[in-house]
Amino acid sequence: MDSPVYLLYIPLKSEIEIETVTEDDIQREELTGEEAEEFLEFLEKEIFPLARKNYEEGDFTKRSLILRVRNVLKNNDPTQLETLLLDFLENGTATSMRAEGKYVIAVLYENKLYLIHSKIKERSVGREEETHSFKVYERFLDKDNLYRFIVFILEDNTLKARMYLKHDSNKTFLEWLGIPPKRRPLPENLTVKFVGTFGNYRLSIELDIDTVLKLEERMEGGRAITEDICIDLNRGKLKVGELSLNIDYGIFPAFKKKVPRDKLGELFYYAKQLRSDWDYQIAYLEELPNKLREMIKQPDLQSVLSSIQGNPPYEERIDGLYNKETGKLVLPKDGGDIVLVYFSKNHEKFIELSPDFLNILAERILENSTLKMMVLNRDINPDKPIKIDNVYLYNRLPPEFEELFKELPKADGDENEWKELSPTYRTLLKLSILNFIGSFSEQYYVFQKVLEYIQKTKQIADVDMIPEIEDVMEFKGRDVLYNEKGKPKDSEEIVDYLFSDILKKISGTNFKFYAIGINKNTRKIEPIEEGYFWDDIIRDGIYEPLHEKLKSNGLSISKPVKLPVRGGFILLFSVRVENPSLLQQQISSGLKALEGMAEGR
């Protein structure tokens, strides 16, 4: 090809100060010849088709931006492109999306200009096409790495554009482009979630945007019935046999506002294909055992584990470790009334927890029935278990956990203070502690998996008020996430608030538990709706940037847990002091800055 491909990018750093970024921070590549052709072939075949929303020049309200884009394309000028890329970084990305491990990228060639927001620091193994040799490489442009991008195309002096958005947190980007709300595209990962119950079990099914955005030719008025499957999109219901599911927590009305009615189809056929899956799930739930199987004698653990490293995968059940492919019992367990666990962070690569095992652990925790647990490693403590309400842990924990257990209600015999707590508060506090232990102790990583299971399959009772208790838990209402008009706040604003609040509340202690979705004044649950705060919004927009900010201040944060309640969920997470001296240094610096401001007045 005759003209070169200009590739410009800025790898973002931790605690980056956007105002200090200049042209010197831009990495520049000029691709020519076969290298350029190979790059463009990938870009055109793998990346460009992802942008499915088309725009005309008149759709953009920011005329100054459009004129700059035109000039870059007409002049094919990489210098003007540098200025545009810096503007994209400063004004087109939210602060929470400028954390370490992300890129802003510009690609200019012939009549096309890409502006891309992506993530880095992910490595993969690939094979070279010519030599077939394996290589470890850092992913730069990949479908999974992209957050959002726009490509401008100038043909016969007519400017057009196409856009891709991974999720729904794109307000800053779209406002910078000047795209009015009615013309904004649907995010690629938008889903509709149906939920229902079967006995005491909560089931859910999520349908992605590609599934539901089909022509309505196979449905009449958004409703279809065949055999014993009934779908009514207008009422938001899906019925399969005797199982009746409703669209979750008001998601569907918001979805219908975004999606033209004549494009709601294919759902019926998708549900029909899933019929066998539903039958399997229902049959599985009916057959769940009511009692634990009788455990058999435990052989030497280390000799068996040393022979099963790697594939094939193994599944852990209540009575032992099984070969997942053959179903053969490989390593039995006999702990009497103590539930023995092989699974840990170190064993995750070759042991998988079975759903029935997770269900047993979850139900005992939530129903306040006794759960005695021992993770099989060298650090066991059979004579003095740690007691957290009805949960008894027979493994030692690091000394830094001691302060936590001093603050907990007592759980010894007649002095069981847990029983005096309100049911909802009792559950929240217990799950927060288990989340904390599962996040910051590798041997009890099993609790992370139990909480993930509860998040997907259970719903906690929420009929009572939370008492006025000032202790290790910090309750926050909906106003942390929503503004006065009930609209979701920008992720950047949420992260800044939580970061500031955590620094204030963590002072004088080594840990803190947060529960968002509880009104501090009324002490009642104010559920967070699923309609906006999807898993990736919480992960990419809130957790990851908050994690980076806290880390630089000597703090660690657990992965958040969405605890299902009626009408939505409560968001739980824990914070722990990892580096006390660094935290104190940051707090002292902040106090000195405030004093300086006061003196300046």
SS (H, E, C) 290-318: CCCCCCCCCCCHHHHHCCCCCCCCEEEEC
Q: Tell me the three state secondary structure of residue 479.
A: helix
Contact 29, 39 (CB under 8 A): no
Q: What are phi and psi of 111, to 5 degrees?
A: -110, 20
Question: Which portions of the chain are predicted below pLDDT 50?
Answer: 15-16, 198-201, 209-219, 226-228, 247-312, 583, 587, 590-601
Closest by CA to 469, choosing from 412, 411, 420, is: 420
One domain, residues 463 and 399: no
d(CA 113, CA 103): 16
CB atoms inside a 10 Å sphere around CB 44 = 11
d(CA 412, CA 406): 13
One domain, residues 120 and 151: yes
Closest by CA to 497, choosing from 549, 534, 537, is: 549
The pair of structure tokens assigned to 236 is: 């938001």
One domain, residues 332 and 408: yes
pTM of the model: 0.51
- Give how many domains the chain has, as a whole number: 4
Contact 566, 516 (CB under 8 A): no
The pair of structure tokens assigned to 87 is: 């503007």
d(CA 213, CA 263): 5
Residue 48 DSSP code: G
Closest by CA to 447, choosing from 430, 429, 434, 460, is: 434
One domain, residues 350 and 219: no
The pair of structure tokens assigned to 220 is: 């009449």
Predicted pLDDT of residue 437: 92
Contact 546, 539 (CB under 8 A): no
Predicted pLDDT of residue 538: 87
The pair of structure tokens assigned to 481 is: 């996430």
Distances, alpha carbon 171 to alpha carbons 160, 490, 526, in Å? 21, 8, 25
One domain, residues 471 and 366: no
One domain, residues 92 and 178: yes
Residues 6+ apart with CB under 8 A from 556: 439, 440, 547, 550, 575, 576, 577, 578
Q: What are phi and psi of 525, to 5 degrees?
A: -75, 130
d(CA 448, CA 438): 5
Predicted pLDDT of residue 212: 46
Q: Mind giving me the DSSP string for 136-199?
A: EEE--S-GGGEEEEEEEEEETTEEEEEEEESSS--HHHHHHHT--GGGPPPPTT-EEEEEEEET
One domain, residues 113 and 228: no
Distances, alpha carbon 220 to alpha carbons 228, 244, 261, 501, in Å? 17, 21, 11, 52
**What does the longest C-alpha to C-alpha distance in the chain come to?**
85
Predicted pLDDT of residue 124: 61
Beta bridge partners of 488: 482
Q: Mind giving me the DSSP string for 384-417?
A: S-EEETTEEE-B---GGGHHHHHHSPPEETTEEG
Contact 407, 471 (CB under 8 A): yes
One domain, residues 326 and 425: yes
Contact 588, 581 (CB under 8 A): no
Q: Mind giving me the DSSP string for 24-45?
A: GG-EEEEE-HHHHHHHHHHIII
Residue 474 DSSP code: E
Residue 19 DSSP code: G
Burial class (CB in 10 A: 0-12, 13-18, 19+), 133: exposed
Contact 528, 519 (CB under 8 A): no
Domain boundary among 423, 451, 479: 451
Q: How far apart are the first and last CA of the chain?
A: 63
Domain boundary among 429, 451, 473: 451
The pair of structure tokens assigned to 67 is: 């004129």
One domain, residues 153 and 241: no
Residue 128 DSSP code: -
Domain boundary among 143, 166, 183: 183
Closest by CA to 116, choosing from 83, 94, 90, 92, is: 92
One domain, residues 277 and 390: no
Classify strands 561-565 and 146-155 as parallel, antiparallel or unpaired.
Answer: unpaired
Closest by CA to 498, choosing from 528, 561, 541, 467, is: 541
Contact 389, 426 (CB under 8 A): yes
The pair of structure tokens assigned to 465 is: 């008020």
Geometric angle at alpha carbon 578, from 577 and 582, rounded to 5° = 90
One domain, residues 402 and 463: no
**Which residue range(s) make up the domain with 438?**
290-451
Predicted pLDDT of residue 365: 92
Residue 542 DSSP code: I
How many helices (H) and strands (E) are present in the chain, helices listed first?
A: 17, 30
d(CA 276, CA 361): 27
Beta bridge partners of 321: 316, 331
CB atoms inside a 10 Å sphere around CB 442 = 13
Contact 230, 239 (CB under 8 A): yes
d(CA 553, CA 579): 8
One domain, residues 429 and 336: yes
